[in-house]
Amino acid sequence: MLVRIRSRDGLERVTVDPGATVGKLQQAIEENLQVPVSNQLLSTNQNLLLSKSPNLAAEFTDMNNPAAPLSSLGISHGSVVFLSYNGERVIAGPPVTPAGAYGKKMTMDDLIARQTRIERQEKPHCCSLSFDRDAANAFQHYVHESLAFSVKRGGFMYGTVNEEGAVMVEFIYEPPQHGSEESLLLLRDAEEEKHVDAIAAGLGMRRVGFIFTQTVSQEKRDYTLSTVEIRQAAELHAESEFESWATAIVKLEVNEEGGADVHFEAFQLSDQCVKLYKEGWFVENVPDLDPKLSRMSKDVVILGKDTRDVDNDFFLVLVKILDHEGILSTTFPIENRGTPLSLQNLKTHLERTKSLPFVKRISDFHLLLLLSNYFDLNTDVPQLTEAVRLQTPVPDGYQLIIDSLASNF
């Protein structure tokens, strides 16, 4: 069976027998990846690559028994195991596309391209990504229960970032879109996004990243992000001009009992990836290209070798995922999910939450987005969002108007 090994060098692969033990996996890593068994620390916990503990061996002990069958640890075909090691090693490079035949005259572009080295970025600018539990659950519940992970779905993450680069996601805005099994087309509405950004600003928040799902068919593929996903993520990251911009994926993974668990992962694209995208290096629509690779328009140097095909993992920097409970709820119906929202939804929501203080009843981004269509974006929305941000009483005039809007149904 194939086991994926993620280390600081990216995602690599080894093959072992289905009944293999931890020790057999260690031997395969030594033979194929040139990391001695004595220098390996393995774990099924991705925090192995994020922890700053001086004693990792004491913190990550789930794979310290060489005789333990991999199956007893929930490791099966396609599973990811995390590897930490000290020192340096020689890594086999990707397939080489020669830069040019002997005697060929090189242009200035060729010379510049030969100096472009694809290198891994060790640390993200976004040191962690924390999801409001309600916001994350509302997104994953929809794609799991309603879409069954059969088509892709995406949304913009909004929240805050501190000076250390810790990002807090407080709500997810889902723009109009069309998802298929392999692609996600965003049908962005500039006017609606203007309302979203105004609400976020009033709440002291901003757009901080993009989240999307991978379909069940992708779970069987041997990549972290496909070339299509890398390009879309790079496009949105470049548009943001935000150093701590994060990209999150949600997918199904097979658990030990053979069932499926929803799994979140977070990354930043490397600075180099975003720069290359801005400069037009990514080639689109390359026939028969392995989806784990991105084709460059010029030769680049990877691990001392010239190539045009870059493993997408070179562009990914792992980000630690956390969760928290914010001030916003996510109980109001969510926009752009096929059924248009109306004031009837407002009436139902207010009746359901009538035992709560009024500011709590409207502390939901998706409700505020609906209300923004009935209030002035420059004068009224800031007053409503300030009340929500500070959790102070809503001015009587606004409460009267909102109740009046709901009573029309």
Of 129, 155, 125, 127, the residue nearest 140 (C-alpha) = 155
* Predicted local distance difference test score (pLDDT) of residue 388: 98
- The pLDDT value recorded for residue 326 is 96
What local confidence, expressed as pLDDT, does residue 114 receive?
56
Q: How far is it, in rounded angstroms, from Cα 350 to Cα 346?
A: 6
Q: What is the pLDDT of residue 56?
A: 84
C-alpha 260: how far from its chain's center?
19
DSSP 85-126: --S----PPPPP--S--TTPPPPHHHHHHHT-B----SS-SS
Q: When comparing pLDDT for 293 and 258, which is higher? A: 293
- Give the single-character DSSP code of 144: I
Q: What 8-state DSSP symbol labels residue 21? A: B
pTM of the predicted model over 0.85 = no
Whether the predicted pLDDT of 236 surpasses 80: yes
Question: Where do we find the tokens 């929305």?
Answer: 381
Q: Give the containing element (helix H, strand E) for 191.
A: helix 190-202
pLDDT for 101 equals 39
CA distances from 403 to 28, 72, 199, 335, 356 (A): 67, 57, 20, 21, 14
Summarize the confidence of residues 97-101 as an average pLDDT.
Answer: 43
* Dihedral of alpha carbons 402, 403, 406, 408, sign: negative
Phi and psi angles of residue 305, each rounded to the nearest 5 degrees, phi first: -120, 145
Q: Is the pLDDT of residue 59 over 50?
A: yes
Backbone φ and ψ for 380, nearest 5 degrees, come out as -80, -45
Distances 10 to 119, 170, 181, 245, 366 between C-alpha atoms, Å: 11, 30, 26, 20, 38
Alpha-helical (H) ranges within 342-379 are 343-352, 358-361, 365-371
Structure token digits, residue 67:
């005789």
Strands in 187-304 per DSSP E? 206-213, 246-254, 260-269, 293-302
Nearest residue to 237 via CA among 296, 157, 120: 157
pLDDT of residue 57: 83
Tens-place pLDDT, residues 124-148: 999 999 999 999 999 999 999 999 9
Q: pLDDT higher for 7 or 352?
A: 352
Tell me, what's the pLDDT at 13? 85
- For the segment 286-331, what is each residue's pLDDT rounded down to a tens digit? 999 999 999 999 999 988 888 999 999 999 999 999 999 999 999 9
**In the beta sheet, which residues pair with residue 266?**
248, 319
pLDDT for the residue 235: 97
Query: Who contacts 163 (Cβ-Cβ below 8 Å, separation ≥6)?
Result: none
* Angle at CA of residue 95, ends 94 and 97, nearest 5°: 125
CA–CA gap between residue 181 and residue 187 (Å, rounded): 17
Which 3 state secondary structure label does DSSP give 216? coil
96 pLDDT band (50/70/90 cuts)? very low
Residue of 268, 266, 267, 298 whose CA lies nearest to 281: 298
Q: Looking at residues 404-408, what average pLDDT do you find?
A: 91
Sequential DSSP letters for 374-389: TS-TTTHHHHHHHHHH
Residue with tokens 């993009």: 210
Q: What would the mean pLDDT of 53-73 be, rounded to a whole number?
A: 89
Which residue matches tokens 């990877």? 302
Flag whether pLDDT at 58 surpasses 50.
Answer: yes
Q: Any idea which residue has 């993520």 for tokens? A: 233
Q: What is the mean pLDDT of the chain?
A: 90
pLDDT at site 253: 81
Task: Kindly report which listed range (71-85, 159-173, 197-211, 314-328) carries the lowest average pLDDT score.
Answer: 71-85
Q: What is the pLDDT of residue 222?
A: 78
Residue 108 pLDDT greater than 80, yes or no = no
